[in-house]
Amino acid sequence: MVKRLIILLTLVLLAVVFSDLLLNYIESPVLSPLGNYYAANGPAELGAANLVTSVIVTYRGLDTLGEVTVLFISAAAVGLLLGRREADTDVAEPRKPASEIVQTAAQLLMPLVFLFGIYVFINGHLTPGGGFQGGAIIASGVMLLLLAQPHAAISRSLIGITESLSGFSYVLVGVLGVILAGGFLDNRIMGLGQFGSLFSAGAIPIIYILIGLKVGAELGSVLDRFRSSGPGEP
């Protein structure tokens, strides 16, 4: 009873805090000075049709580095905690095999899911999407595999190598931006190419590929750890 009362009180307090924002919100009819600069100069400076994700990668590249770092720390913490539980488990509980429908659907859909994830982060500078979105789609393909084949073994060494190499290469590209261009993760270390084409926007497609591989590997590792930990209580 006390627990439910605390939850109810917390919800009421949150409603009071956000009620003013909800009732008095007025949308600004113009962009902020910074947003106006991005909109006016971003396409020419970055050479990317998708300005939103390009700003995240270049102008706010250090923020993206921080997000990738947070994701890495979260995946490492999950691996550490569930790895200790896995070591304490003496006998692995048998897993119920998936139905034939799920297995067949996984065989048909999983290649398409991976292909779509790769498409999303390769074309992140042209269409809505990018490295994080494409990596999450790839991780959903891993989850589909784990659901369809509960006894399937995923190479954790391969995931670790992919994650490490993509993360190191991402930082390396950022440092090259400092040395060869105007700052960390400056995409102009390569030619901007023809605006709107696949090979354009300088190093942004490479950066997105690295982010997509790193995010997909980290989220896939988290899913595999949860699968290996079993259904019991930690």
Q: Over the stretch 68-109, which tens digit does the pLDDT of each residue have?
A: 888 888 877 877 777 665 555 545 556 677 788 888 888 899
Is residue 181 domain-resident?
Answer: yes
Non-local CB neighbours of 36 within 8 Å, separated by 6+ positions: 30
Is residue 175 domain-resident?
Answer: yes
32 three-state secondary structure: coil
Q: For 193, list phi and psi in degrees, rounded to 5.
A: 70, -165
Residue 47 has pLDDT above 80, yes or no: yes
Is residue 154 domain-resident?
Answer: yes
Is residue 157 domain-resident?
Answer: yes
Is residue 28 domain-resident?
Answer: no
pTM, full prediction: 0.78
Q: What would the mean pLDDT of 49-78 be, rounded to a whole number?
A: 84
Is residue 6 domain-resident?
Answer: no
Q: 200: which strand partners? A: 193
Question: Distance of alpha carbon 127 from its chain centroid, rounded?
Answer: 16
Non-local CB neighbours of 62 within 8 Å, separated by 6+ positions: 184, 185
* pLDDT of amino acid 183: 85
Is residue 190 domain-resident?
Answer: yes
Tell me which residue range forms the domain holding 155: 50-88+95-229
103 three-state secondary structure: helix
Rg of the chain (C-alpha set): 22
Alpha-carbon distance 147 to 142, whole Å?
A: 9
Q: 193: which strand partners? A: 200
Task: Work out the number of other CB atoms within 10 angstroms of the CB of residue 145.
Answer: 20
**Please, which pLDDT band fits residue 232 given cuts at 50, 70 and 90?**
very low
Q: Hunting for tokens 């696949």 — which residue is that?
A: 198
* pLDDT of amino acid 234: 42
Q: Over the stretch 191-202, which tens digit does the pLDDT of each residue have?
A: 898 988 988 999
The DSSP H or E segment spanning 68 is helix 61-88
Alpha-carbon distance 220 to 213, whole Å?
A: 10
Non-local CB neighbours of 195 within 8 Å, separated by 6+ positions: 43, 47, 49
Q: What would the mean pLDDT of 132-151 be, rounded to a whole number?
A: 88
Is residue 42 domain-resident?
Answer: no
Cα four-point dihedral sign 34, 35, 36, 39: positive
Structure-token pair, residue 108 = 């048909």
Q: What is the mean pLDDT of the chain?
A: 84
DSSP 188: G
Q: How many domains does the chain have?
A: 1
